[in-house]
Amino acid sequence: MKKISLTAQIGIALVLAVVAGVLLRNQADFVNEYIKPIGTIFLNLLKFIVVPLVLLSIMAGILSMNDITKVGKLGLRTVIYFMVTTIFAVVLGLVVPTLLKSFLPVIHISTATVPTAIETPKLSVMDQLVNMVPDNILTPVSSMTMMQVIVIALFFGIAMVHIGEKGEMARKVTLSFNDVVGKILEYIMALAPIGVFCMLTPVVVDNGPSVLGSYAALLALAYFCFVVHAGLVYSSAVGFLGGLSPIKFFKGMQSALLFAFSSDSSVATLPYTMQCTEKLGVNKDIGRFVLSLGATINMDGVAIYLGVVSVFMANCCGIDLTMSQYMAIAFASTVASIGTPGIPGGSLALMAMVFASAGIPVECVAVAAGIDRIIDMGRTVMSVTGDASCAVVMQKHLGKKFCNFAPSKE
């Protein structure tokens, strides 16, 4: 008998949670006493893995850029391109839902259980910058101060790259522990269907079936931002910087984008993406390097969605985000999109990290998890499109110089 996939299990849990929530609306005490605690256990496991996951994923992401020193201009321009489009993605993901905030539905989510340690005070911009830099290495990890954890990861990752062979042992240990943490996350995510059911059922009990309308609104908002980003940023980049008609680009990428949507994996889509970009005139070696690097560090879809879901859930909780909180979301989303693990559930853990950075209740992750798979399909399409657009742009500006380029296979 074929095993039911985790995605299908979470989908079933979502449906069962809605049904159970409707049937148990008159049994709120029972739900809160016996069902909600199990969801809290799952949430605690998610919180437990967030810090090591973010710390090691970002360091591993930086270490994957080791080949950049061997490809000079191509590597540097590729990273710059990815960072610029990611910034546009984060801004879009924050601006659009903020402008539409008055039209968004509200899910009443209890914040009573949120620890005060993750609340974000109203600070000035300079205070926010100062607080991003830790004064020791242990406190940020123990207190889940995610901004400082990110800064620690950046320093250690960059240092390991810079010292070269002397840091080889540290590099191997980091990558090994990153794999270990990834496996632990797989264990935790195996409990996701139970966790989603036990966290979502109380929400439906409190709000009724109307919660489904909120899901539809979040889904529509995310995909609207995806379309706008692809239509404005990627089309402009391909047209003005790549010298290729956007219509020809999207038509040429059609098979890869369809596969990305169905497979939900930018890595699995790589062969199709390479094939499509080659047909669009991208040198095979340039495409191999840019697309492989992009599959690791370029996740514009994740950056957009983390912004969208943060504003959406803050609105659901009745939180008026301050400028410092917007900055926290923007910075955390940018860096988190680079360190997104390529395993099921990785985006949920990073969502918890972004919420914690901005003082949004981490419990909201369980609410968003119900449709994460559907949105993740769109996020994958965005990532593949962004990688391909970069390959086209790099071919236009550096193609002649790197016709014989061959990236290291080390």
Residues 204 and 21: beta-carbon distance below 8 Å:
yes
- In this prediction, residue 329 carries a pLDDT of 86
Give the pLDDT of residue 211: 58
User: In whole angstroms, what is the distance from residue 298 CA to residue 302 CA?
Assistant: 9
Residue 80 parent element (H or E)? helix 73-99
Q: What is the mean pLDDT of each run of 10 residues along the chain (410 residues)?
A: 69 82 84 86 78 77 58 74 91 91 65 39 54 82 74 84 85 89 81 82 70 74 93 93 92 84 68 85 80 77 89 84 86 71 58 81 75 78 92 82 44
Q: Among residues 389, 200, 161, which one has the least CA distance to residue 277?
A: 389
Give me the CATH code for the 6-398 domain, please.
1.10.3860
Quick one: which of 374, 307, 303, 366 has its CA closest to 340? 303
Q: How far apart, in whole angstroms, are the C-alpha atoms of residue 90 and residue 208?
A: 32
**What is the full DSSP assignment across 371-384?**
THHHHHHHHHHHHH
**Predicted TM-score of the model (pTM):** 0.65
What does each C-alpha distance from 280 to 53, 261, 366, 399 come to in angstroms?
A: 37, 20, 41, 13
pLDDT of residue 71: 47
What's the pLDDT at 9? 79
User: Do the Cβ atoms of 349 and 386 come closer than 8 Å?
Assistant: no
Structure tokens at 104: 């968004």
> pLDDT value at position 410?
39
What is the pLDDT at residue 227? 94
**Helix spans in 190-322 (H):** 192-207, 211-229, 235-236, 246-252, 254-263, 266-279, 284-297, 300-316
* Burial of residue 15, with CB atoms counted within 10 A of its CB: 0-12 exposed, 13-18 middle, 19 or more buried: exposed
Q: Distance between CA atoms of 347 and 302, rounded to whole angstroms? A: 8
